[in-house]
Structure 1
Amino acid sequence: MAVPPGPGTSGSAQEPPRHVLVPLALAQFICSFAGSNMNVMINDISEDLDTTVQGVQLAITIFLLVMAALMIPGGKLTDRFGRKRCLVAGLAVYGVGALLSAAAPGLGVLILGNSLLEGIGTALLIPPVYILTTLYFTDTAARARAFGAIMAMGGIGAAAGPLIGGLITSGLSWRAAFVFQALVIVVIVVLSRRISDPLPPEPGRSFDTGGAVLSAVGLTLVVAGILAADDNGWLTAGLLVLGAAVLAWFFRWIRAKERAGAEPLLSMSLFRDRTSNLGLVTQCLQWMVLMGVSFVVSAYFQVVRGYNAIQTGVIFTAATVGLLASSLAAERFAKRRTPRTLVTTGFVVTVGGIVTLLALAGGAQSAWASTPGLLLIGLGLGVMLTPSVNVVQSSFPEEQQGEISGLSRSVSNLGSSLGTAIAGTILVADLAVGSYAAALIVLAVIGCGGLVAATLLPRQRAVAGQGSGR
Structure 2
Amino acid sequence: MTTTTSTMPGLEERRSWLPMVGLFLGQILMSFNVSALPISIGGMVSDFGVPPTVAGSTIVIYGLVVAALVMTGAKLGQRLGWVRIFRVVVVVFACSSLMMIFSPSVGWAIAGQALAGAAAAIIVPALVALIAENYSGDQQATAIGSLGSARALAGVSAFLIGGTLGTLVGWRPVFWIVFAIAVAVFALSFTLRSDRGDSSITIDVVAAFLIGIAIMVLTLGFNNLNAWGAFFAGPGAPFDLGGISPAPMLIVVGIILGQAFFLWTRRRIREGKVPLVDLSVLGSGRERAAVYAMFIVVALEAALNFTVPLYIQVVQGRTPFETSLAMMPFNITVFITATLIVRFYKRFSPRTIGIAAFTLATAALVWLSFVVNNNWETLPTIIGLVAFGIGQGALVTLVFNVLVTSAPAELAGDVGSIRGSTQNLASAVGTAVVGALLVALLSVGIGRAVVEHPALPPELIAQVDLDSVNFVSNDDLDEVLARTDATAEQIDYAVQLNEEERLRALKMGLLILAGISALAILPASRLPRYRPHEIPVG
Tell me the TM-score range normalised by the shorter chain: 0.7 to 0.9
How far does the alpha carbon of each residue in 1:299-344 deviate from its partner, in whole angstroms, 9 at most, with x for none?
3312221211221111121112212332232122212222122222
The amino acid across from 2:524 in the alignment is A
Pair 1:296 & 2:314 matched:
no
Structure 2 unmatched runs, 5+: 2-8, 232-243, 440-468, 473-501
**Structure 2: how far apart are the matches of 1:460 and 1:273?**
14
Partner of 1:27: 26
Pair 1:317 & 2:328 matched:
yes
**Structure 2: how far apart are the matches of 1:118 and 1:438?**
37
1:160 to 1:273, Cα distance in 2 relative to 1, 3 A: farther
Partner of 2:66: 67
Contact 1:156-1:320 at 8 Å conserved across structures: yes
TM superposition shift of 1:196: 4.5
Partner of 1:6: none
1:193-212 aligned within 5 A? 193-197=190-194, 199-212=195-208
Pair 1:192 & 2:232 matched:
no
TM superposition shift of 1:276: 0.4
1:366 to 1:396, Cα distance in 2 relative to 1, 3 A: closer
How far does the alpha carbon of each residue in 1:277-308 deviate from its partner, in whole angstroms, 9 at most, with x for none?
01001111111122232233223312221211
**Structure 2: how far apart are the matches of 1:42 and 1:359?**
34
TM superposition shift of 1:76: 0.9
TM superposition shift of 1:11: 4.9
The equivalent position to 2:402 in structure 1, one of 378, 387, 391, is: 391
**Structure 2: how far apart are the matches of 1:415 and 1:376?**
21
1:430 to 1:212, Cα distance in 2 relative to 1, 3 A: same
Contact 2:165-2:171 at 8 Å conserved across structures: yes
The equivalent position to 1:162 in structure 2, one of 148, 159, 163, is: 159
Give secondary structure in 1 for the equivalent of 2:126: helix
Pair 1:274 & 2:272 matched:
no
1:361 to 1:178, Cα distance in 2 relative to 1, 3 A: farther
The equivalent position to 1:287 in structure 2, one of 281, 284, 298, is: 298
Contact 1:43-1:303 at 8 Å conserved across structures: no
The amino acid across from 1:452 in the alignment is L
Partner of 1:129: 127
Contact 1:32-1:158 at 8 Å conserved across structures: yes
Pair 1:410 & 2:409 matched:
no
**Structure 1: how far apart are the matches of 2:147 and 2:252?**
37
**What is the number of equivalent residue pairs in this alignment?**
454
The equivalent position to 1:453 in structure 2, one of 508, 511, 523, is: 523
Partner of 1:431: 471
TM superposition shift of 1:386: 1.4
The amino acid across from 1:63 in the alignment is Y
Contact 1:349-1:380 at 8 Å conserved across structures: yes
Give secondary structure in 2 for the equivalent of 1:265: coil
1:165 to 1:345, Cα distance in 2 relative to 1, 3 A: farther
**Structure 2: how far apart are the matches of 1:321 and 1:375?**
9
Contact 1:40-1:298 at 8 Å conserved across structures: no
Partner of 2:462: none
The equivalent position to 2:218 in structure 1, one of 222, 241, 248, is: 222
Pair 1:252 & 2:263 matched:
yes
1:135 to 1:227, Cα distance in 2 relative to 1, 3 A: closer
What is the TM-score when the length of structure 1 is the normalising length? Answer: 0.86
TM superposition shift of 1:360: 5.1
The amino acid across from 1:430 in the alignment is N
Moved over 6 A (4+): none
Give secondary structure in 1 for the equivalent of 2:406: coil
**Structure 2: how far apart are the matches of 1:367 and 1:44?**
28
Range 451-460 or range 82-91, more displaced: 451-460
Give secondary structure in 1 for the equivalent of 2:84: helix
Which of the pair has more CA radius of gyration?
Answer: 2
TM superposition shift of 1:214: 0.7
Structure 1 unmatched runs, 5+: 2-8
TM superposition shift of 1:436: 4.9
The percentage of counterpart residues that share the same residue type is 25
Partner of 1:149: 146
**Structure 2: how far apart are the matches of 1:60 and 1:50?**
18
TM superposition shift of 1:90: 1.6
Range 90-99 or range 29-38, more displaced: 29-38
TM superposition shift of 1:154: 3.3
1:105 to 1:440, Cα distance in 2 relative to 1, 3 A: farther
TM superposition shift of 1:220: 1.1
1:46 to 1:342, Cα distance in 2 relative to 1, 3 A: farther
Contact 1:87-1:126 at 8 Å conserved across structures: no
Question: Alignment RMSD, CA only?
Answer: 3.0
How far does the alpha carbon of each residue in 1:410-455 deviate from its partner, in whole angstroms, 9 at most, with x for none?
2123222322333345568712436655654554444333233213
1:54 to 1:333, Cα distance in 2 relative to 1, 3 A: farther
Contact 1:39-1:298 at 8 Å conserved across structures: no
